Amino acid sequence: MSAFYKTFSLCVLLCLPALAAGEPSQDRSRQPAVKPPAQPAPPPPEYLVGPEDILGIVFWREPDMSGDVVVRPDGRITIPVIGEVQAAGRRPEVLQQEIATAASKYLSGVNVVVVVRTINSRKIFITGRVASPGAYSLIGPLSVMQAIALAGGVTEFADPKGITILRTENGVSRTVQFNYQDVARGKSLEQNVLLQPGDTVVVP
């Protein structure tokens, strides 16, 4: 038998066990790792549930009662068996306890978790001469400069020195001035305040 056939036979004998086991011939260590699914960002510490927020209500061993719900404009949600529950204005952990108390009338050993899937109730508004005016969700701390960046920046004909933040606190409306050019140059940085839910940034 020639050296070629000896080498060929040896290769077949070495490869057969791997083929029989269904293992690929390539090195698995070079395959890209599978990334785990992204988890929702935790809500800010001062967060209260509001209308349009999406919540996950998860009951242990009760799949028929579990699921995602959208907080209605009246601030309530509907949960199977329990019925309607007031959600708006509650902290997630408080709402979780109230749901557990309501469910205990129908179930024993209640174990329920409230997960904030999407925050839609906390919004700020950017209007005027920016690239993309509109409403933006306020998930965490957001400064005026960052908000303008989210909106694509000021346009060519904007007045960057005359930007105004409209804010309502305790029922009283007030304005906060913002000079984009100064802050961009590192001056008067105290103007770059953190925005609050309901704030409107006006770019003339």
3-state SS, one letter per residue, for 62-128: CCCCCEEEECCCCCEEEECCCEEEECCCCCHHHHHHHHHHHHCCCCCCCCEEEEEEECCCCEEEEEE
Cα-Cα-Cα-Cα dihedral sign, residues 191, 197, 203, 204? negative
Are residues 82 and 99 in contact, defined by beta-carbon separation less than 8 angstroms? yes
Kindly tell me if the per-residue pLDDT of 25 is higher than 90. Answer: no
pLDDT, the chain, mean: 86
Confidence band for 19, pLDDT divided at 50, 70 and 90: very low
The Cα 163–Cα 157 span in angstroms is: 13
Q: What is the pTM of this model?
A: 0.66
Cα–Cα–Cα angle for 158, 162, 166, nearest 5°?
110
What's the pLDDT band for 34 if we cut at 50, 70, 90?
low
How far is residue 16's CA from residue 96's CA, in Å, rounded to a whole number? 58
Sign (positive or negative) of CA dihedral 44, 46, 49, 50: negative
Q: What percent of the chain shows pLDDT beyond 90?
A: 72
Domains along the sequence of the chain with CATH: 54-118 (3.30.1950.10), 123-203 (3.10.560.10)
Q: 111-160, pLDDT tens digit by residue? A: 999 999 999 999 999 999 999 999 998 988 999 999 999 999 999 999 99
Say which residue the tokens 């929702």 belong to. Answer: 40
> What pLDDT does 147 receive?
97
